[in-house]
């Protein structure tokens, strides 16, 4: 169901306030051909109401001839900022960049963040943004999970479906996604609500079973028949199964890049207002599937790049896969038990 401009403006005001936007600061709204017009118009209004100096930077889309779908995460690396010095300079001079285009996994994004500018990505449909407007308690919950992950040296994931995966940890930072940017140089994604890191290079071992009902992204499809993935020394070595396995295997192979098969980020969802079932309600081109990535108790893992964490892999292939009903253990202690988060967190703030 559509939302009113009033409700979306109020949601923007909450997010911008949580992001510590102050009067007189410069906000640049980054847009492209697929930017949602209501998200754009309400972002401009809300930032102006909070006293910001507001600019819009509109850039042409790229990678359309390379990607196998229109999803903005279907082909990564090259962005409209690649080689665009004037645009990069404008974003570096901003206090806050509202990314309504999807600027991810690129050296340009890192460069902008190093300047102290904050970047908030927001590309989901307006009604999703309103439903998943972040709260201060989202940060508290994610931060507590991140503290546990930072101390751990192994993540072990098992499930009744057959997943048994061991991921040594410690070489890469832990990332908190809670939906707003409250520190200089911070990137986040509205909506979100999960914690993640990257396993040590060439170290992940075991089996992943993507069971019926689990979700493949960016395909944005629910798996109908189990996919058995073998991981050795940090790379996928085998993908077994029926049609869903063939589709996944063919998609990864289409990039003609061995790094597409590398283990990327791992973590779990912490957002109780996100839902596993939401993806079934939307046309595939209407959403990038943040409900699927963030819903409470999932085990979210990825294949592909690690340059977001300072690694060297910058493959254009990036596949996120949230699994249900998994037990996630840090150094042998469960933090998620069969899809239920064990932190006993109680939301108290509006």
Which of 32-46, 51-65, 290-304 bottoms out in mean pLDDT, i.e. has the lowest?
51-65
pLDDT at 285 over 90: no
**Strand 319-323 to 263-269 pairing:** unpaired
Give the DSSP letter string of 307-330: GGGT-S---S--EEEEESSEEEEE
Count of residues making up the chain: 350
- Indicate if the pLDDT at residue 64 is higher than 90: no
Q: Residue 1's pLDDT band (boundaries 50, 70, 90)?
A: confident
Residue 350 has pLDDT above 60, yes or no: no
Cα distance between residue 110 and residue 99, in whole Å: 14
Angle between helix 5-18 and 37-49 (nearest 10):
60
Q: What is the pLDDT of residues 2-21, one digit of tens each?
A: 999 999 999 999 999 999 99
CATH top-level class for 5-131?
Answer: alpha beta
Question: Mean of the pLDDT values across residues 55-70?
Answer: 81
What average pLDDT does the segment 232-239 reach? 98
Residue 68 has pLDDT above 90, yes or no: no
For residue 349, pLDDT over 70 is answered with no
Predicted local confidence at residue 289, as pLDDT: 96
Percent of the chain with pLDDT over 70: 96
Instruction: Report the distance separating Cα 210 and Cα 242, nearest Å.
Output: 12
Range of lowest pLDDT (27-36, 78-87, 336-345): 78-87
Distance CA(112)–CA(117), nearest Å, equals 6
Q: Which long-range contacts does 5-11 make (Cβ < 8 Å, 24+ apart)?
A: 5/38, 5/41, 5/42, 5/45, 7/130, 8/38, 8/39, 8/42, 8/126, 8/129, 8/130, 9/42, 9/45, 9/46, 9/49, 11/129, 11/130, 11/133
- Percentage above 90 pLDDT, the chain: 86
Q: Average pLDDT of 33-59?
A: 97
Segments making up each domain of the chain, as ranges: 5-131, 136-341
- Work out the average pLDDT over 282-306: 95
pLDDT at 331 over 70: yes
* Alpha carbon distance, N-terminus to C-terminus of the chain: 23
- pLDDT, residue 79, reads 84
193-230: pLDDT as tens digits:
999 999 999 999 999 999 999 999 989 999 999 999 99
Tens digits of residue pLDDT in 146-190: 999 999 999 999 999 999 999 999 999 999 999 999 999 999 999
Question: pLDDT grade, residue 77 (50/70/90)?
Answer: low
Q: How far apart are CA 19 and CA 27, in angstroms?
A: 12
β-pairing, 319-323 vs 227-232, is unpaired
Query: What integer best gives the mean pLDDT of the chain?
Result: 95
| pTM exceeding 0.75 | yes
Token code pair at residue 327: 């037990």
For residue 287, how far is the Cα from the chain centroid?
13
Residue 74 scores a pLDDT above 80: no
């Amino acid at each position: 169901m559509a939302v009113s401009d009033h409700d979306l403006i109020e949601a923007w005001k909450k997010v911008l306030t949580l992001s510590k936007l102050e009067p007189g600061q410069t906000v640049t709204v980054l847009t492209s051909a697929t930017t949602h017009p209501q998200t754009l118009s309400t972002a401009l209004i809300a930032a102006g109401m909070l006293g910001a100096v507001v600019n819009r930077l509109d850039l042409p889309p790229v990678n359309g001839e390379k990607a196998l779908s229109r999803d903005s995460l279907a082909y990564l690396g090259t962005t409209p900022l690649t080689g665009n010095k004037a645009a990069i300079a404008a974003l570096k001079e901003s206090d806050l960049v509202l990314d309504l285009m999807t600027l991810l996994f690129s050296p340009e994004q890192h460069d902008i963040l190093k300047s102290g500018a904050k970047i908030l990505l927001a590309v989901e449909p307006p009604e999703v943004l309103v439903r998943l407007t972040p709260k201060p308690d989202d940060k508290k919950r994610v931060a507590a999970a991140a503290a546990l992950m930072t101390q751990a040296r192994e993540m072990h994931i098992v499930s009744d479906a057959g997943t048994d995966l061991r991921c040594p940890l410690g070489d890469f930072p832990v990332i908190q996604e809670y939906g707003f940017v409250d520190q200089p140089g911070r990137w986040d994604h509205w909506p979100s609500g999960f914690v993640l890191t990257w396993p040590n290079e060439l170290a992940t071992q075991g089996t992943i079973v993507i069971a019926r009902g689990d979700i493949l992204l960016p395909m944005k499809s629910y798996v109908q028949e189990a996919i058995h993935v073998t991981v050795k020394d940090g790379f996928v070595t085998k993908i077994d199964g029926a049609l869903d396995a063939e589709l996944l295997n063919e998609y990864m192979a289409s990039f003609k890049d061995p790094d597409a098969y590398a283990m990327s980020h791992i973590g779990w969802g912490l957002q109780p207002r996100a839902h596993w079932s939401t993806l079934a309600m939307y046309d595939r081109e209407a959403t990038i599937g943040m409900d699927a990535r963030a819903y409470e108790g999932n085990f979210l893992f990825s294949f592909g790049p690690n340059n977001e964490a300072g690694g060297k892999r910058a493959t254009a292939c990036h596949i996120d896969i949230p699994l249900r009903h998994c037990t996630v253990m840090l150094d042998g202690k469960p933090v998620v038990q069969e899809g239920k988060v064990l932190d006993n967190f109680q939301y108290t703030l509006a």
